[in-house]
Amino acid sequence: MPPGVACGVGGFLPSTMPNTHPSYVELCKLVREVSTLGSIASLLGWDQETYMPAGGVDARAEQQGLLAGIIHERKTQKKIGDLIAACEGEVGRSIENGSPEAANIREMRRDYDLATKLPTSLVQEWATTTSKASEEWKHAREKSDFKKFAPWLGKVMDLCKQKAACYGVPKGGEAYDALLNEYEPGITAVEIEQVFTPLRARLSDLIHRVAKSKAKVSTKILSAKVPAEAQHAFGQFVLGAMGFDMNAGRLDTTTHPFCSGIAPGDTRLTTRYRGEKFTDALYGTMHEMGHGLYEQGLPKKGPNAGTPLAGDISLGIHESQSRMWENFVGRSREFWSWALPHVRKHYGPHAKAFKSAKVEDLYRAVNTCTPSFIRVEADEGTYNLHVMIRFEIERALLSGSLAVKDVPGVWNAKYKEYLGLKVPDDRRGCLQDVHWSFGLVGYFPTYTLGNLYAAQLWETINKKIKDLPARISKGDFAALKKWLNTNIHAHGRRYRAAELCEKVTGKPLSADPLMRHLEGKLGGVYGLASAR
């Protein structure tokens, strides 16, 4: 196999032999130990969500607390800092500029700085404040009373400002950039705004046109009742068909679906089943599988095991993988022309509703577009507007241009302007998400970045694999998976998201591909004459 070519899941042959400089070798060893401890914590976390009996909760908290302390100690040890500094001195000398090793050192520096730049006092205050704030948020949401939560949001925002100051605001940038670096390294608030602004205008226009459309789209087929066991069996079948390696992963049931890439050869997905609306579990499973395929495709084995090079780039890129399988594959006509006969077969006696259903019925039903209040229930067309509202508000809160007390008013005004909705109360308004109570500021935009990256990658993939739609309609997903393995997964964290996007698609990130996708699809479903 030629150098630099992916050799299947979990394996990647670097174009050069791994560097053997003693500092680099020792650094990798220490970082790998931290990563192994992290994988133990992930396993404990997965078990807690899936099979642990309720009685184990106190002991588990103790186990996790002790382990978290050990991980933090190891992660922040001075030895790692010294070795990173020594290796940085070698870049351009014994470590080639632009090499995978140089990228690895850059990422180890980032991780080390994130772990060490916050003083213990701030870390402790953060932990106590966010834990109380999330409790207060729960009560405030139940009562739909923002005033109850406001003082806590104020405290959390103050801590976020302190955190950003400790991380260091990049030259010419803003505090928000320092927080973004935790989730989406390398991108700035201004860069996000430049992509989001045209996206918002076009999306808002599209949604208004959909709202005026006279076309009726029936979603009746989605309320067919399908028992959880039949849904689970079909979910497993879809995972297998799409190339998720069941020998190196599994699918279980939890309240909140997630994917945990625990260790090399061990990627676990979860989903949840409702008696009706079988597509919730189906798309939930495909979404997590997209994350899971990324985890299975990362170069976790070999010389870079346990180092940043074996890890994922960012939340945005991770989400691009899940959204691609969920929305670009799963909500396509081609997917349904393959899946419908299998649905009939798997759902057996429960498949009555699907007997006379046509591919077009399913395609239209899963592509409706209706503005709604709750982000996590939003459809593909309206989802990103929910995200943009949060991005605009949290950025303004952090810069101080928006006062906490004014959040509900601004929130409601934006829902009216972008989605045409009158928010009835704070529970369905600015109190709906848990993120701010945990201090997760800078996290929201990664959801939309994921959709944008997915759309831009999807256009490129369709140029490279010209018969992809025909393949999908035959249930042949191998070429798509192989392309993602080779062009995205195999690089691990070698490139930053923006760099990988340009390298793979030839262009910087733009709102155009996602808008072409949505305008094309919704234009068809709703018969919009002026679909651009």
Active site residues: 288
Are the C-beta atoms of residues 167 and 117 closer than 8 Å to each other?
yes
Positive or negative CA dihedral for 339, 345, 351, 354?
Answer: positive
Min dist. Cβ of residue 319 to Zn ion (A): 5
Q: Which one of 4-12, 147-155, 245-253, 321-329 is the stretch in contact with Zn ion (CB under 5 A)? A: 321-329
Min dist. Cβ of residue 291 to Zn ion (A): 6
Q: Which one of 86-94, 190-198, 316-324, 384-392 is the stretch in contact with Zn ion (CB under 5 A)? A: 316-324
Are the C-beta atoms of residues 299 and 75 closer than 8 Å to each other?
no
Are the C-beta atoms of residues 443 and 435 closer than 8 Å to each other?
yes
Query: Contacts by 521-527 with C-beta closer than 8 Å and gap 24+?
Result: 521/331, 521/367, 522/206, 522/210, 522/367, 522/369, 522/381, 525/215, 525/217, 525/363, 525/364, 525/367, 525/368, 525/369, 526/209, 526/210, 526/213, 526/215, 526/217, 526/369, 527/213, 527/214, 527/215
Tell which one of 19, 320, 322, 337 touches Zn ion (CB under 5 A).
322
Could you give the angle at which helices 278-297 and 315-323 cross, rounded to 10 degrees? Answer: 130
Min dist. Cβ of residue 380 to Zn ion (A): 14
d(CA 359, CA 355): 11
- Give the residue nearest to Zn ion (CB): 322
- Count, in order, helices (H) and strands (E) of the chain: 21, 3
What is the 3 state secondary structure string of 431-442?
CCCCHHHHCCCC
CB-nearer residue toward Zn ion: 449 or 509 = 449
CB-nearer residue toward Zn ion: 316 or 381 = 316
Q: Which one of 110-118, 144-152, 315-323, 462-470 is the stretch in contact with Zn ion (CB under 5 A)? A: 315-323
Residues 380-409 that bind Zn ion (CB under 5 A): none
d(CA 432, CA 160): 20
CB-nearer residue toward Zn ion: 292 or 303 = 292
Q: Which one of 52-60, 313-321, 471-479, 509-517 is the stretch in contact with Zn ion (CB under 5 A)? A: 313-321
Q: Could you tell me the two tokens for 434?
A: 């848990």
Min dist. Cβ of residue 292 to Zn ion (A): 10
Residue identified by tokens 């922040």 is: 76
Min dist. Cβ of residue 293 to Zn ion (A): 12
Q: Could you tell me the two tokens for 351?
A: 């498949």
Q: Which one of 2-10, 184-192, 317-325, 477-485 is the stretch in contact with Zn ion (CB under 5 A)? A: 317-325
Are the C-beta atoms of residues 239 and 251 closer than 8 Å to each other?
yes
CB-nearer residue toward Zn ion: 136 or 380 = 380
CB-nearer residue toward Zn ion: 45 or 524 = 45
Instruction: Answer yes or no whether residue 285 interacts with Zn ion by CB under 5 A.
Output: no
Min dist. Cβ of residue 315 to Zn ion (A): 8
CB-nearer residue toward Zn ion: 289 or 518 = 289
d(CA 411, CA 404): 11
DSSP 8-state symbol, 327: I
Which residues are paired to 12 by β-bridges?
6
CB-nearer residue toward Zn ion: 304 or 322 = 322
Min dist. Cβ of residue 314 to Zn ion (A): 12
CB-nearer residue toward Zn ion: 163 or 318 = 318
d(CA 198, CA 223): 36
Min dist. Cβ of residue 287 to Zn ion (A): 6
Q: Which one of 239-247, 319-327, 359-367, 437-445 is the stretch in contact with Zn ion (CB under 5 A)? A: 319-327
Q: Sketch the per residue contact string, 7 through 46, with Zn ion: x for CB under 5 A, - otherwise.
A: ----------------------------------------
Q: How many residues bind Zn ion (CB under 5 A)?
A: 2
Cα–Cα separations (whole angstroms), residue 292 to 108, 186, 298, 478: 24, 24, 10, 15
d(CA 467, CA 392): 40
Site residues, Zn ion (CB under 5 A): 319, 322
